[in-house]
């Protein structure tokens, strides 16, 4: 028997033959969400418990076979699919979905890594609590993937990234040992905080099998407004006012440029997009712990002041939950509309909120100089200084050819500009394979050296998602 067959036999014995997939259509695990790359797995292995994950990792370690941890496979940077060698195992956490404990007094929930984000939100809401992490992919991404990427999303302005929501982790190390760090403690200064090494490590250090996450009381009301603004400067001005008028009630602040919204209208004509002629629109959310009437009054005062100042041209406030959902749906449909429009170049950048308008003005001009006709699809989490400053091929151009010929140069231009503005080339999506080589040029040598030291200390065989994020 060849060594791969021996490993597959042992894996079948560990997790059950039906959970070691080697045949049939494996595209759901082998193809990334953006359809940038298609890999080939030796097998897709689907353990059902932490002990099974540990066995799988040990068996792979003995065979020298590398592992790609995978949750919902919605990642944006080609980090959760295998390479093309046919020698990597995809370790899917999909069968580990249980909400283990909800501790109401401690305001925490302990949940397995494969739990789909929306299922966790629903379970918490049913128990009377808010789990605030929210992304457009929440119907399929998993809490393990959210932790693996330190996902951001639309509520960061109030609740922070996934990292800020996590109090403890259970991890299977690269050696197949189980580290139970499922603490619900808010204070614990007993040495290095190991959880933070694994959060955002994109499967390169170990497998997250469960986590203890923070909960919040459900707000009495969540109101959504959609505002037309004359410029990005005006959007930033509105953000300042929203912080002042709503304070901790400001739970969402998303910006969308006119062309990004026009793609939603084009590809999802059933959606009614307000203010289609405005240069930019903003979705704002006000979560209030008093009452809906109070939230509405606060919103009215904010919008009145903003109109007086000229930073809002027009606005609607949702009258019902259904209307609020429809307004959010417009924002969340942009990545899907962009995908329908064709292959595209994504930039997930952050710079200080105050410098966003200047960054866009300067970088737009540079792009149009070097890549005339390139269509900018600009939208994102303005409240966090995070833009999806994306690029679609010029009208009429073949997207595949445009990407092949221009992507590297276009990325170099955008990232040089990000550096000039003191920003980050990956605000929330991570590095994966797509940005790995870029990281070398945009992170300090000292930081890269420390990252490599951590990687080789925790995964000396380089079997955990090798070649992703950082080369060793
Ligand atoms: P996967 O894609 O399966 O994996 C992502 C990475 O995490 C990989 O490197 C993988 O190896 C690693 N990983 C997965 N599970 C584990 C585990 N248990 N242990 C260790 N490592 C693991 N992202 C944002 O940040 N903000 C957004 O607003 C946002 N919106 C999106 C909207 C759409 C429509 C789509 C398709 C994606 C969006 N994303 C967003 C990207 C993506 O959904 C997130 O990165 C999400 O956190 C990935 O979760 P997942 O379960 O799909 O992980
Ligand atoms: C979003 O904010 O919609 C996501 O991060 C997805 C994307 O960048 O397309
Ligand atoms: Zn985003």
Nearest Cα to 426, choosing from 461, 472, 458, 469? 469
Q: Which of 380, 384, 386 to mutate to test the pocket of ligand 2 (most atoms within 8 A of CB)?
A: 380
pLDDT at position 237: 98
Does residue 181 have a pLDDT over 80? yes
How far does residue 406's CA lie from ligand 2's centre (Å)?
22
> Ligand 2 in contact with 136 (CB < 6 A)?
yes
Q: What are phi and psi of 29, to 5 degrees?
A: -105, -20
How far does residue 349's CA lie from ligand 3's centre (Å)?
10
Secondary structure of residue 256 in the 3-state scheme: strand
pLDDT at position 29: 98
Secondary structure of residue 189 in the 3-state scheme: coil
Which residue's CA is the closest to the ligand 2 atom numbered 2?
380
pLDDT at position 80: 98
Ligand 1 atom with the shortest distance to the CA of 70:
3
Q: What is the model's pTM?
A: 0.97
Predicted confidence (pLDDT) per residue in 358-416, tens digit: 999 999 999 999 999 999 999 999 999 999 999 999 999 999 999 999 999 999 999 99
Angle between helices 232-246 and 356-370 (to 10 degrees): 160
Ligand 2 atom with the shortest distance to the CA of 388:
8
Does residue 445 have a pLDDT over 90? yes
Please answer whether residues 99 and 173 qualify as being in contact, where contact means their C-beta atoms are separated by less than 8 angstroms: no
- Say yes or no: domain 222-330 is CATH 3.40.50.920: no
- Same fold? 3-92, 222-330: no
How far does residue 254's CA lie from ligand 2's centre (Å)?
11
Ligand 1 atom with the shortest distance to the CA of 140:
52
Question: What number of other Cβ atoms are within 10 A of residue 43's Cβ?
Answer: 24
Q: Which position has the token pair 């996450």? A: 213
Ligand 1 atom with the shortest distance to the CA of 432:
9
pLDDT (mean) for 442-455: 97
pLDDT at position 148: 98
Tell me the C-alpha distance between 430 and 418, whole Å: 16
Which residue's CA is the closest to the ligand 1 atom numbered 45?
75
Which residue's CA is the closest to the ligand 1 atom numbered 35?
137
> Which CATH number fits the domain 342-420, given the four candidates 3.60.20.10, 3.40.640.10, 3.30.70.2740, 3.90.1170.50?
3.30.70.2740
pLDDT at position 115: 98
Confidence tier at 253 by pLDDT (50, 70, 90): very high
Predicted confidence (pLDDT) per residue in 325-349, tens digit: 999 999 999 999 999 999 999 999 9
> Ligand 2 in contact with 331 (CB < 6 A)?
no
Does residue 3 have a pLDDT over 90? no
> Ligand 2 in contact with 152 (CB < 6 A)?
no
CB-hemisphere CA count at 13 Å for 349? Answer: 30
> Ligand 2 in contact with 335 (CB < 6 A)?
yes
Token pair listed for 320: 């019902």
pLDDT (mean) for 419-438: 97
> Ligand 1 in contact with 428 (CB < 6 A)?
yes
> Which CATH number fits the domain 99-217, given the four candidates 3.30.465.10, 3.40.50.2300, 1.20.1530.20, 3.10.20.90?
3.30.465.10
Predicted confidence (pLDDT) per residue in 70-97, tens digit: 999 999 999 999 999 999 999 999 999 9
Cβ neighbours of residue 205 under 8 Å, at least 6 residues apart? 174, 197, 198, 454, 455, 458, 459, 464
> Ligand 2 in contact with 388 (CB < 6 A)?
yes
pLDDT (mean) for 39-47: 98
- Domain boundaries 3-92, CATH class: alpha beta
Domain boundaries, the chain: 3-92, 99-217, 222-330, 342-420
Question: Average pLDDT of the chain?
Answer: 97
> Ligand 1 in contact with 378 (CB < 6 A)?
no
Q: Which ligand is closest in space to the CA of residue 335?
A: 2
pLDDT at position 114: 98
Does residue 1 have a pLDDT over 80? no
pLDDT (mean) for 247-272: 97
Nearest Cα to 162, choosing from 148, 181, 182? 148
> What is the CA angle 376-377-379, rounded to 5?
130
Tell me the C-alpha distance between 120 and 367, whole Å: 41
pLDDT at position 2: 87
* Residue 31: C-alpha distances to residues 26, 70, 79, 90, 347 (Å): 8, 12, 11, 12, 20
> Ligand 1 in contact with 74 (CB < 6 A)?
yes
Does residue 280 have a pLDDT over 90? yes
Percent of the chain with pLDDT over 90: 99
């Amino acid at each position: 028997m060849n060594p791969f067959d021996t490993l597959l036999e042992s894996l079948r014995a560990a997790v059950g033959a039906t959970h070691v997939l080697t045949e049939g259509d494996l595209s759901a695990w082998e193809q990334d969400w953006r359809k940038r790359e298609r890999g080939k797995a030796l097998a897709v292995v689907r353990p059902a418990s932490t002990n099974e994950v540990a066995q799988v990792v040990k068996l792979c370690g003995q065979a020298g076979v590398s592992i790609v941890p995978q949750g919902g496979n919605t990642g944006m940077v080609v980090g959760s699919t295998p390479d093309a060698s046919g020698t990597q195992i995809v370790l899917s956490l999909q069968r580990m979905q249980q909400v283990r404990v909800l501790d109401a007094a401690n305001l925490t929930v302990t949940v397995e890594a494969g739990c789909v984000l929306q299922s966790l939100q629903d379970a918490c809401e049913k128990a009377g609590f808010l789990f605030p992490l929210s992304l457009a992919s929440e119907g399929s991404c998993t809490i393990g993937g959210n932790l693996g990427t330190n996902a951001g999303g639309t509520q960061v302005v109030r609740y922070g990234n996934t990292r800020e929501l996590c109090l403890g982790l259970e991890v299977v190390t690269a050696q197949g040992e189980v580290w139970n760090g499922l603490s619900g403690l808010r204070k614990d200064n007993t040495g290095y905080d190991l959880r933070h090494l694994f959060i955002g490590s994109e499967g390169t250090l170990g497998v997250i099998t469960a986590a203890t996450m923070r909960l919040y009381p459900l707000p009495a009301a969540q109101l959504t407004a959609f505002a037309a603004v004359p410029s990005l400067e005006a959007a930033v001005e509105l953000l300042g006012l929203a912080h002042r008028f709503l304070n901790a009630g400001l739970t969402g602040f998303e910006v969308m440029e006119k062309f990004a919204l026009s793609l939603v209208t084009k590809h999802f004509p059933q959606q009614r997009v307000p203010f289609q002629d405005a240069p930019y629109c903003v979705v704002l959310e006000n979560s209030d712990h008093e009452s809906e009437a109070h939230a509405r009054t606060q919103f009215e005062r904010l919008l009145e002041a903003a109109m007086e100042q000229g930073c809002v041209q027009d606005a609607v406030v949702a009258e019902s939950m259904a209307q609020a959902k429809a307004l959010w749906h417009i924002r969340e449909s942009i990545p899907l509309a962009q995908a329908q429009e064709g292959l595209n170049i994504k930039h997930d950048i952050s710079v200080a909120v105050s410098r966003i308008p200047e960054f866009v003005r300067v970088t737009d001009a540079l792009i149009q100089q070097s890549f005339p006709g390139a269509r900018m699809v600009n939208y994102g989490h303005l409240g966090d200084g995070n833009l999806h400053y994306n690029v679609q091929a010029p009208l009429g151009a073949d997207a595949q050819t445009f990407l092949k010929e221009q992507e590297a140069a276009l990325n170099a231009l955008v990232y040089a500009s990000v550096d000039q503005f003191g920003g980050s080339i990956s605000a929330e999506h991570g590095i994966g394979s797509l940005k790995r080589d870029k990281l070398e040029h945009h992170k300090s040598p000292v930081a890269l050296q420390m990252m490599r030291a951590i990687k080789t200390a925790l995964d000396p065989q380089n079997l955990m998602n090798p070649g992703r994020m950082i080369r060793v």
